Structure 1
């Protein structure tokens, strides 16, 4: 479990400390407030630890400063896609350093690092973790990836493409074989509501093409509605076991391109995953999704302490983070207020009356 993320001088943030819950963590803010930056930062650190730990050269070995300082910088650049690493440091007069600290329930995973505005290819590792991460985190971007999956990984690794590396990482997870064995019953319980919503199941053929199979047969994924393809990504990662075993799921704007019915299903699946042991991190500015999550979480009084909400508020000295166990703790978010104001205008105008 990731307990805490501390940052100083990162992009739009002057200084912030986020205290995470062990189940569901929802980051809310307007466009440009840094929601995706927080997800990408935490994901980059976790993914670097997992990637380095599974290399044969590091097998059975403890992390070293040498292994981390270059590969962590590479991951940050490949995920954020700045011209150079130092562009991620908050821009002010003179040179500034960006400081990052991650604290885990397992203190062996704790890591601290920093870099300056003129840094290009290395970070300064101030605290080296004592162990590598054992489980791969998963990152779902705003775009669905099933339709671009065929050949994408080999193309990405053989050419310089301006796609962020989360796409490549997620495609690797989508291509894993289906999970079998003792975990199948739990996977099936998570899959069934997703497949009901899609009215079918996701299949991957030997040529690397995804299909939606239903009572009418198989339909090529590019012909399936984008909202269902996003749901299909979640279903596929569930079926391969990538979203089990106390792992980490990062999802940027789950509601994008989904109709309200599918948003309700996504919200339900997210809550179920978080209860099953996954630590989930969401970035959103959807009032509908937030309300659905609140409705679902309100039925679990014992679990409320394990969930956290974070509101991002732009100010003169950078974005300020407000946080707590409910939406009421995150302050007023303009994007949410606009949704409420529109509802009031609609009622005042008597539309449909």
Structure 2
């Protein structure tokens, strides 16, 4: 197995807070995956069905249990929500019985779990390294594709009391959003981020009776009447303002470009780069060319950005991953392939090739 930290080395302070490696075997769509993570921004691209969101969910579950104390397998069933909450359904589907394995590394700390494809409940799984893994809590947040702030009033109490068929990431993001601000000064860098986000959404986010509003010079506009792309930037403002995103935090964001005007990608990427400079590790999954291009254009020499392409190997149909420091260095990029195809078709049409 490649990329694991040597037990005799001493990780840096940032390495001890950041996720450094994920190893999956016979888990969901993955036969075997060994992935090294960067300490800053990690961008996952790939065609639909290549496991981008699954990677984010596994890593998020590993982080979240350091705060909640939940069993790792239990958290996995809550964020993946397999039918009947049967843990074994998260194993790779095959005719024979298989052993699913998950290893998540944070410096020299390792969280290890395994279960069989016929395992019924989380109690039938085996997890090791939990005590050491949870010695230092990880502040983490998962922003799902579905916007949740406009559904906030009453949802948390409903989810807590009833069997509501929602992946737990949707309840978790509301828990993060409703947090009051931390005590103490914000710091100049966070204040500047908040100012720029306020300028982008043209107001400040407020909460009243669990309902979110955008406070502008013309009054309060409820989130249900606000464009969904603006709600996303508003959520980011909340998470920075209340201290969820700060040095040592981990942000997971699934398709941040959804319903976001492409012009706002410049603002979004600027904020994400500044957050990683503050010590926030970021994992995002995207299908968007503008996200990749903005990162490429705005990155500076000191930024830690890593691009990961998930793809199916034509030789056996199994999922593989390649990583690079720049998006154009990836050999398997459906985003680049799609835009290259559009360009070729445009050239062909301009030359009269479609006549």
Q: TM-score, normalised by structure 2?
A: 0.88
Match of 1:93 among 92, 95, 108: 95
d(CA) in 2 for partners of 1:11 and 1:154? 31
Deviation at 1:331, TM superposition (A): 1.7
Deviation at 1:343, TM superposition (A): 3.4
Deviation at 1:11, TM superposition (A): 1.3
Secondary structure of the equivalent of 1:2? Answer: coil
Deviation at 1:129, TM superposition (A): 4.1
Q: Quick check: 1:45–1:72 contact (8 Å CA) kept in 2?
A: yes
Aligned residues: 327
Deviation at 1:324, TM superposition (A): 2.3
Q: Quick check: 1:25–1:282 contact (8 Å CA) kept in 2?
A: yes
Which residue matches 2:80? 80
Q: Quick check: 1:14–1:317 contact (8 Å CA) kept in 2?
A: no
Q: TM-score, normalised by structure 1?
A: 0.88
d(CA) in 1 for partners of 2:140 and 2:229? 23
Q: Quick check: 2:143–2:253 contact (8 Å CA) kept in 1?
A: yes
d(CA) in 2 for partners of 1:264 and 1:31? 25
Which residue matches 1:55? none
Match of 1:12 among 29, 50, 65: 29
d(CA) in 1 for partners of 2:287 and 2:237? 23
1:29 aligns with 2:56: no
Q: Quick check: 2:25–2:102 contact (8 Å CA) kept in 1?
A: yes
1:142 aligns with 2:145: yes
Which residue matches 1:263? 265
Deviation at 1:87, TM superposition (A): 1.1
Secondary structure of the equivalent of 2:180? Answer: coil
Gaps of 5+ in 2: 1-17
Cα RMSD over matched residues? 1.7
Match of 1:307 among 295, 305, 308: 305
Matches within 5 A, 1:1-353: 1-52=18-69, 71-83=71-83, 84-105=86-107, 107=108, 109-122=109-122, 123-132=125-134, 133-205=136-208, 207-297=209-299, 300-303=300-303, 306-315=304-313, 316-350=316-350
Q: Quick check: 1:286–1:336 contact (8 Å CA) kept in 2?
A: no
Distance 1:185 1:302, change over 3 A: closer
Secondary structure of the equivalent of 1:110? Answer: strand
1:24-75, Cα deviation, whole Å (9 max, x unpaired): 10111111111000000110111112211xxxxxxxxxxxxxxx6xx22221
d(CA) in 2 for partners of 1:146 and 1:80? 21
d(CA) in 2 for partners of 1:348 and 1:279? 43
1:251-290, Cα deviation, whole Å (9 max, x unpaired): 0000011111112211111111111100000001111111
Moved over 4 A (4+): none
Deviation at 1:193, TM superposition (A): 1.4
d(CA) in 2 for partners of 1:350 and 1:179? 58
Gaps of 5+ in 1: 53-67
d(CA) in 2 for partners of 1:284 and 1:336? 13
Q: Quick check: 2:72–2:127 contact (8 Å CA) kept in 1?
A: no
Distance 1:242 1:332, change over 3 A: same
